[in-house]
Amino acid sequence: MIRTAQAVYVDTGAWIALALTKDPYHDRALEIWTGLADAGARLHSSVSVIIETFTFLDRQTTRDVAVAWRRSLDRIPRFRVWPVTRRDLDEAWAFFDRPDLHKLSAVDAVSFVLMRRAKIRTAFAFDHHFTTAGFRLLG
């Protein structure tokens, strides 16, 4: 359940599932996306997530799909893309000391830093690392 105007962080896996109809999580992602829109959720992501998603779509599908996805971001109401600073990266390395976060990506670690700083507790993601790191997972 999403609260009205709740802040939610959108991860790469969610963007990919939304963009690709053949993705195994596509139907679930659309259901969540509709719920977020209906609740007027305030959506956040990071430059690193946007780059990671674009690169995946460009390499696994076509450039046209990747560009269309990127352009679609401009039409999302209440959506903010956060920059990633050297400080964010430096703080992210601490997550790699945790044995329970095996096979963690650097992009996810930076996402955790950004979410903690903004006090966002909910992630639209399909990655168990978010739950392990203490966040609520939509997906």
pLDDT digits (tens, 9 = 90+) for 77-124: 999 999 999 999 999 999 999 999 999 999 999 999 999 999 999 999
Map out the domains of the chain as residue ranges. Answer: 7-138
Other beta carbons within 10 Å of 125: 26
Per-residue pLDDT tens over the stretch 49-88: 999 999 999 999 999 999 999 999 999 999 999 999 999 9
CATH fold of 7-138, please? Rossmann fold (3.40.50)
Helix (H) or strand (E) holding 44: strand 42-46
d(CA 39, CA 74): 19
Q: What is the largest CA-CA distance in the chain?
A: 39
Over the Cα atoms of the chain, what is R_g? Answer: 14
What is the model's pTM? 0.96
Residue 8 amino acid letter:
V
